[in-house]
Amino acid sequence: MQITRPNTLTNAPLQYAPKNEIGVVYLFAHVARKKQFRIEEIRPQFPDRIAYRHSGDKEKLVRIEFEYKSSSFKTHGHGPKKCDCIVCWYHDWPDCPLEVIELRKDFHSIPKIWIQPVLKSQWHYLEYKQLNWRLSKRASVGDLLMIYRCRPDKAIRDIYVVTGELSRGKAGWRDGDCFGGSVKCLCRIEAPLFFEDFKSHRVLKTAGFVRRNFQGNLLVSEYWSYIHEMITKRNPSLLKTLKKYDPSKI
């Protein structure tokens, strides 16, 4: 059986990122005053907590519901008209009608690493340093996004950083909606990583994202140490650029 544990936190009263709503409540107790909240009542029923927040020379009533993920508010069938604010660890509900306080922004957590395939017909967008881009709804500010250029290149040549909060909007390339956010180019990879490099790698060749031929929004954080090594070995000049994302530090 594979044993896992959450990411380590820094400057936090918890050693690791919370795994449930109770952990969220505990962390919020340590930042409530900084966020100008005065707790009036803690309750077993919805909403979880009644508080007042400083607003100018007055205090405003704020009804708070705690969730591990903001989307659980919908899953639990809560009514937004009876609540003012959701406090969560992970905000995965971009079109939420309520204020959301996402606590992982207050405590350092490891950024996620993504690979996303892009068809040749969309490569011209990559000429821009900053752009709005479709993303997984699990992506968050600070994550790395490696762009895999599909045929004929079949290579990773660009690395972006997610810089803006996600929002939900109409997809431009298919019917329906999608999630997106602003991204900024961190670097171009002069000596790119080709699909064949992954297929021949001693570890990565068996990774799910390689077996899937780089299809979909791919979360590859667990393989970042190998990918980082491939990038910097071929492109030593990028060691400084990627210093913040050195596997030994995250």
pLDDT in tens, 126-181: 999 999 999 998 888 889 999 999 999 999 999 999 998 788 887 766 677 888 99
Q: Which domain holds residue 61?
A: 21-105
Residues linked to residue 218 through DSSP beta bridges, in sequence order: 115
Identify whether residues 60 and 28 lie together within a single domain. Answer: yes
Point out the residues of the chain with pLDDT beneath 50.
Answer: none
Domain end position, chosen among 73, 105, 137: 105
Q: Quote the pTM value.
A: 0.71
CA distance 156 to 134: 17
Q: Which of 105, 121, 156 is the last residue of a domain?
A: 105
Contact 193, 230 (CB under 8 A): yes
Residue 87 lies in a domain: yes
Identify whether the C-beta of residue 162 lies closer than 8 Å to the C-beta of residue 141: yes
Phi, psi of 178 (to 5 degrees): -150, 170
Q: Which pairing describes strands 218-219 and 155-162: parallel, antiparallel, or unpaired? A: unpaired
Check residue 97 and give its pLDDT: 95
103, 118 Cβ separation under 8 angstroms: no
Identify the pLDDT of residue 56: 83
Is 51 inside any structural domain? yes
Report CA 238 to chain centroid distance, whole Å. Answer: 23
9 is a domain residue: no
Domain end point (choices 105, 124, 157): 105
Residue 4 maps to a domain? no
